[in-house]
Amino acid sequence: GTPEVIILDPANHKTSVAAKLRQVGTDQWRCEYTAKQVGLHSVNVFFCGQQIRGSPYGVRVAPVCDPRKVRASGRGLQPVGVRVNDDDVTFRIFTEGAGEGIPEVKIFGPGGVVPEHSIRKLDANTYEAQYIPLKEGRYKILVLYGGQEIPKSPFEVTVGPQKHTSIVAYGPGLKSGMVGQPACFVVETNGETGNLGFSIAGPSQAEIECHDNGDGSALVKYHPTAPGEYAVHILCDNEDIPKSPHIAQVLPKADDFHPELVKVTGPGVEKSGGVIVGKPTEFTVDATRAGSAPLEVKINDVFSNTIAHKITKTESGMKKVSYTAPSAEPVTVEVNYGGVAVPQSPFRVNVSTPLDASKVQFFGPWLEPGVKPNAATHFNVDARAAGNGLLEVNLVHEESKQKVPVRIIDNNDNTYAVEVIPPLAGTYSTNLLYGGLKVPLSPKVTVSSPVDVSKIKVDGLEPTAPLNSLQQFRVITNGIGKADLAVTIT
């Protein structure tokens, strides 16, 4: 007899899937069919009009799996930067358009070491893998989908030794950005020495700017011209610092919001705006003309620790942000709109201690003996421990009550030089005000007229004298003013 094959699709229709039978040998037949639907199909095989044993056969048809459409990226696949015991070694696997399949990850370390790893599903088309390298050296990472390797697999990663550093980096440009807008971040050295360097690897050659804040920190900007994933490397002496590289996702330029139109004002973002330790300060964010996008505010100390803040909405639709600086170290305020830094952000804000005029110190030649009339002199003022304030100096000649002009030179670090030319001999009072508060010490300075030694006469001093005999002479100083007399016999 002749065999017959009828295939039912998931809806039990027998006409949608055609079976083609051909004889390939004595008592051997080959059946071919092409399923057009995903799901359970029923394959019915008949011989001489009767179902054969085991028929019907259930065949589950899955969508086409195309590993060529799968891609993987992230810090954990970067060639350099990962270190031993690094707890932030992750990468993502994107399967959109690749059909049904199960992603697999195989990791081979130096000496055959196979570190533990995990995979979790983030959404229908995204998976995240994580591993912790326990040994330095070269690692090979295979990413498979449907049992086949995806493009660029295997990935080679060189794991460096564990490293400890005080250098930290933070800012929106380490995780996001937008084409046409600068991506910004801050690097704090916290007293650590070494040559800082930066490199950006991504779809475009992004120009890098670096501004030294002069306080052990730097503001870095880069300018991506194409969307995609960028690896931001932060280097010290040509080595990635811990957590580097950072992975930033740069989006295409948006037309529905404009971060460049956001305005941020107020004492809480001014470099020397009078922010004082332990006292609340605030600033305002005006995004009313910038379109609709999420507002993000972050405030960090020099160690990248987050400082708490509160956001409230004003009647005009603007946002008011308040925070309290916990110490006298500078703080950095990030204001991001739609994941992009607004103009002037991040803001570097100096924090001062409360004003305490009693901590103002002053010293120098003006306060020492030997000051002469009409001779230029000076003294120094150190107010670094007294907080931020304005220095005022009042110099008065007590006998004539004449106020003496002075020149104050501000060194821009709460230290000053004060230049003085006293016009007359006599006593001068030196009074200082700092931030409107009186400095407790008010020393008095005596200015003496210069002595004309040519008018001094010596009487009775003989050129020779007998041994062991008492000799006397007079020093006559009439009319030359008062001064200390010293006699040296050699």
What's the pLDDT band for 27 if we cut at 50, 70, 90?
A: confident
CATH 1.20.58.220 holds for 3-61: no
For residue 2, pLDDT over 90 is answered with: no
Look at residue 455 in the predicted model and tell me its pLDDT. Answer: 82
For domain 357-447, give its CATH number from 2.60.40.10, 2.40.128.20, 3.40.309.10, 3.40.50.2300. Answer: 2.60.40.10
Q: What is the pLDDT of residues 251-271, one digit of tens each?
A: 999 888 999 999 999 999 998
Look at residue 222 in the predicted model and tell me its pLDDT. Answer: 95
CATH 2.60.40.10 holds for 259-352: yes
Percentage, residues of the chain above pLDDT 90: 68
Whether the model clears a pTM of 0.85, i.e. scores above it, the answer is no
Give me the mean pLDDT over the 131-135 stretch: 92
Look at residue 454 in the predicted model and tell me its pLDDT. Answer: 78
CATH 2.60.40.10 residue ranges of the chain are 3-61, 67-159, 168-251, 259-352, 357-447
For residue 481, pLDDT over 70 is answered with: no
Give me the mean pLDDT over the 40-46 stretch: 94
Give me the mean pLDDT over the 291-299 stretch: 94
- Among 230, 242, 254, which Cα is nearest to 175's? 230
Give me the mean pLDDT over the 235-256 stretch: 92
Look at residue 460 in the predicted model and tell me its pLDDT. Answer: 86
**Ramachandran category for residue 440: left, alpha or beta (phi over 0 → left; psi -120 to 50 → alpha):** alpha
Higher pLDDT, 322 or 49: 322
- Among 64, 67, 93, 66, which Cα is nearest to 150's? 67
Tokens of 194: 């070494």
CATH assignment, 67-159: 2.60.40.10
Higher pLDDT, 452 or 123: 123
Give me the mean pLDDT over the 105-116 stretch: 87
Pairwise CA distance, residues 318 & 268, whole Å: 16
Give me the mean pLDDT over the 213-219 stretch: 89
Higher pLDDT, 400 or 471: 400
Look at residue 39 in the predicted model and tell me its pLDDT. Answer: 87
Pairwise CA distance, residues 230 & 205, whole Å: 10
Pairwise CA distance, residues 382 & 206, whole Å: 44
Q: What is the pLDDT of residues 451-460, one digit of tens each?
A: 777 788 888 8
CATH 3.90.120.10 holds for 168-251: no
Pairwise CA distance, residues 427 & 448, whole Å: 9
Give me the mean pLDDT over the 357-376 stretch: 93
Give me the mean pLDDT over the 79-106 stretch: 92
- Among 270, 253, 404, 261, which Cα is nearest to 330's? 270
For residue 273, pLDDT over 70 is answered with: no
Give me the mean pLDDT over the 189-205 stretch: 91
Look at residue 331 in the predicted model and tell me its pLDDT. Answer: 94
Pairwise CA distance, residues 163 & 184, whole Å: 25
For residue 385, pLDDT over 80 is answered with: yes
Give me the mean pLDDT over the 318-339 stretch: 93
What's the pLDDT band for 389 if we cut at 50, 70, 90?
A: confident
Look at residue 14 in the predicted model and tell me its pLDDT. Answer: 86
What's the pLDDT band for 203 if we cut at 50, 70, 90?
A: very high
Look at residue 45 in the predicted model and tell me its pLDDT. Answer: 95
Averaged confidence pLDDT in the chain: 91
Look at residue 382 in the predicted model and tell me its pLDDT. Answer: 96
